[in-house]
Structure 1
Amino acid sequence: MTRAILQVGPLRIPAAIGRSGRTSRKREGDGATPIAAMPLLSGYLRGDRVAAPRTTLPLTRIRPTMLWCDAPKDPSYNRLVRAPFKPSHEEMQRQDELYDICLVLDWNVTSRRRQAGSAIFLHLIRPGYEPTAGCIAIARRDMIRILPHIGRGTILRVL
């Protein structure tokens, strides 16, 4: 099952999740979304495409040099890094619209374990709610709707 409901406080929002469904044993590259209550930490925004929405969540404008390290053996695993960066990573400034608004969930961030999964974000969906690589994805209209009501520490749950 690659569709789920995202619970944000009293709100329930349709979401796409990982291509491998949900798991309580998240591993790097498994394509699954963690079964966990995940607090929001911060977010990123494509300021060249999206106007800054109203929210108390810290949002940083995405720059071309911003990458996210997904190399478990690297000291920067599951952290924002800057290009040039040779170990495995993900580009934050994507060509598609998925990360036009991208929120960082506290999955393996504040307390990291190697191989426990990286870059678990809440981002925008692909058409047709296509599965993600482990993230949670929602429609742009739903993201804009919830942003004024969330902040650092808001808990997200996938049902």
Structure 2
Amino acid sequence: MHLLHANFTREDESKRTLFLQSLRAAAHEITDEELEVLLESEWRSRLTAAWLIGFDRRDHFRDVLGDLLLASRLCFSGQGYCFALARFGTDEDAQHLAAYLDRYLRRPDCQYDQHWAISALLHIDSRSGSEHAARFLAPGGLWHQWNGAQYSPSPPGRFIYEL
């Protein structure tokens, strides 16, 4: 549950440091086969697998994570997919995030992982000098339309991808 909503960021520094060290060690130790099993399971396992993939920057999982994000079949696991794609940080990752936003920002009835996806896209843009998020954030763009239709609208946030 520390990974859900990046709850570990609310811990005091010593607890957060210990948690991140453990996560980093687990990311190095887990095999691809074990990650594949986790990605075929329920949302907690998928969330954990995606964070481990992102931590170890196993970008060969890029398309799998992008497909899972776009499908959005399980709650909360998309947070991990967005984290991993942001950590990889390439144009290919931005394309997966943009495809997700193109689909789900058109659905004001779906409050899924849009905040995570737009912040991941902003992170990639800030690192690469690209402007993938610009069309979503333009005045009257899809972000503003979707966000304005939410019960509690909020600006796109910046999540932690530099761990």
Shorter chain as denominator, the TM-score bin is under 0.3
Q: Which has the larger radius of gyration?
A: 2
Higher helix share: 2
TM-score by length of 1: 0.27
TM-score by length of 2: 0.27
Higher strand share: 1
Higher relative contact order (Cα pairs below 8 Å, separated by 6+ residues):
1
